[in-house]
Amino acid sequence: RPAMLAFNPIIQIFKPVSPLAWLPISLSLFNLADPSAIFVIFITSLWPTIINTALGVSSVPKDYLDVAQVLEMNRWGQITKIILPASLPYIFTGLRISLGIAWLVIVAVEMLTGGVGIGFFVWDEWSRLNLSSVFLAVFVIGLTGLILDYGVGKLQELVTHRSGG
């Protein structure tokens, strides 16, 4: 809880910053499109995972930790046997939200940095006024997002079932 109180202002300052605002900063730091794009994707999509992980850890029932203390479980045992399994649903929820944001930002950054990718394709087809290709790309973007979310959901089922969460 003290860590969350310390980091919450930082999270709340950086969380709402648009990828469009991060891109020029990133380009000036890295001087290359690819590392800049990776940084922008990372910095704009990590917040849901951090927030949900913190929420998951803080939501572990105190009774669980009291039992661990009675059993004289060391800190590593508490983390691996109690805190992590109890937090996994929250962590995966954050990962799924972050993945959706990352996919959205990937497309936007590709539009702005050019070169390759579905975002560049959409922008290029728009500039040629080829709307049928733009609509097809939008469908592919949405379908890919659906498949990615489904995959992480299946991974969540596998991991949380195995861990007993």
Q: Which residue has the higher pLDDT, 131 or 115?
A: 131
Contacts of 17 (CB under 8 A, 6+ apart): 43, 44
- Res. 4: pLDDT tops 80: no
Residue 8 pLDDT level (bands cut at 50, 70, 90): confident
Contact status, residue 46 vs residue 99, Cβ threshold 8 Å: no
Q: Rounded to whole angstroms, how far apart are CA atoms 28 and 129?
A: 32
Mean pLDDT score of the chain, rounded to an integer?
91
- Structure tokens, 119: 């975002």
Can you give the CATH number for the domain in which 19 is found?
Answer: 1.10.3720.10
Q: 111-122: per-residue pLDDT in tens?
A: 888 878 899 999
The residue segments making up the domain with residue 46 are: 2-163
pLDDT, one tens digit per residue, over 30-80 is: 999 999 999 999 999 999 999 999 999 999 999 999 999 999 999 999 999
Residue 165: pLDDT above 60? no
Closest to 122 (Cα-Cα) out of 150, 149, 144: 144
**Could you give the CA distance from residue 124 to residue 88 in angstroms, rounded to a whole number?**
41
Domain count for the chain, please give it. Answer: 1
Q: What is the pLDDT of residues 93-111, one digit of tens each?
A: 999 999 999 999 999 999 8
Higher-pLDDT residue of 165 and 82 is 82
Both structure tokens of 46: 């990590």
Residue with tokens 């951090």: 50
In the predicted model, is pLDDT for residue 1 greater than 70? no
Model pTM score: 0.83
Is residue 164 predicted with pLDDT exceeding 90? Answer: no
The whole-angstrom separation of Cα 152 and Cα 36 is 26
The answer for 68, left when phi > 0, alpha when psi is -120 to 50, beta otherwise, is: alpha
